[in-house]
Amino acid sequence: MLKEIGGLLGNIVLILFLLALLNYVVKYINRNYRKQLMKNEAGYQLFTKVMRFTVKNHKYFGLTVIIFLLLHFAVQMNLYGINITGAIAAVIMLVQIGLGYYGTRAKNKGKTWLKAHRLIAVLLSISVLTHLAFG
Ligand code: HEM
Ligand code: HEM
């Protein structure tokens, strides 16, 4: 039973992480394919809704990760002890969340933090994939 719960919690972390990543994907689509999308009015309206929802809730997806990451960590730690790939992904994840929080709070912050936030998103994706592939 605890094994299933640990797995479920890991999957929730993964889904919230993917929802946070969508922020980039929807903006990318909007930047590069808006004209094509606009040819289909209903499709474009739906896409706009999804984009607004994704962008508006970006920080909440990221912040909610903390809760499920801690729970996943607690359960897996209990069952299996420390997991190196998971621990690396978790540390990068916490840096990413901290940086995102900084980005929303700090004044006169410039764009450097956002470049770092994008770069860390790539590193985080690699580390999460490593965790999923090698356990
Ligand atoms: C960004 C952070 C993390 C993500 C996205 C993540 C996600 C996942 C997912 C989706 C699974 C597969 C669950 C299943 O369907 O059975 C999993 C398994 C696991 N995770 Fe994590 N996890 C993270 C961090 C951690 C941390 C910090 C630990 C440290 C204890 C950990 C330990 C484990 C273990 C032991 C397994 C089972 C591996 C196996 O069955 O071989 N994870 N994780
Ligand atoms: C799971 C963790 C997270 C990931 C993977 C992530 C990823 C990203 C990515 C890829 C972008 C760039 C979007 C673009 O190119 O325009 C971005 C932007 C941003 N992120 Fe995050 N982020 C995470 C967590 C957070 C958190 C927790 C916050 C705030 C509390 C945050 C605040 C922001 C802000 C303010 C922006 C720029 C404005 C915007 O696009 O909304 N992020 N994030």
pLDDT at 50: 97
Q: Are 96 and 124 in contact (CB under 8 A)?
A: yes
Assign 7 a pLDDT band (cuts: 50, 70, 90). very high
Residues whose CB falls within 8 Å of the CB of residue 31, separated by 6 or more in sequence, listed in order: none
- For ligand 1, atom 24: residue with the closest CA: 86
Interval 36-92: pLDDT, tens: 999 999 999 999 999 999 999 999 999 999 999 999 999 999 999 999 999 999 999
Q: pTM of the prediction?
A: 0.94
118-134 confidence digits (pLDDT tens): 999 999 999 999 999 99
- Provide φ and ψ at 113, rounded to 5°: -60, -35
Given a cut of 90, is residue 135 above it in pLDDT?
no
Tell me which amino acid residue 13 is: V
Q: Which ligand is nearest to the CA of 86?
A: 1
Residue type present at position 47: F
Q: Relative to the CA of 104, which ligand 2 atom is closest?
A: 35
Cα–Cα distance between 65 and 100 in angstroms, integer? Answer: 13
Determine whether the shortest distance from the Cβ of 89 to ligand 1 is under 6 A.
Answer: yes
Range of the domain at 97: 2-134
Give the residue with greater pLDDT, 135 vs 6: 6
> Ligand 1 centroid vs 21 CA: distance in angstroms?
18
Mean pLDDT of 87-108: 95
Query: Which residues does 104 contact at the CB level (< 8 Å), separation at least 6?
Result: 59
Closest ligand (CA of 133): 1
Q: Number of H helices and number of E strands within the chain?
A: 5, 0
| Residue 45: per-residue pLDDT | 95
Q: With 90 as the cut, is the pLDDT of residue 107 above it?
A: no
69 lines ligand 1 (CB under 6 A): yes
Which residue's CA is the nearest one to ligand 1's atom 41?
135
* Ligand 2 center–CA 99 separation, angstroms: 9
Any ligand 2 atom below 6 A from CB of 68: no
The reported pLDDT for the residue numbered 109 is 77
Given a contact cutoff of 8 angstroms between Cβ atoms, the answer to whether 61 and 20 are in contact is yes
Domain total in the chain:
1
Residue 9 CB neighbours (<10 A): 20
| Residue 132 near residue 86, CB atoms below 8 Å | no
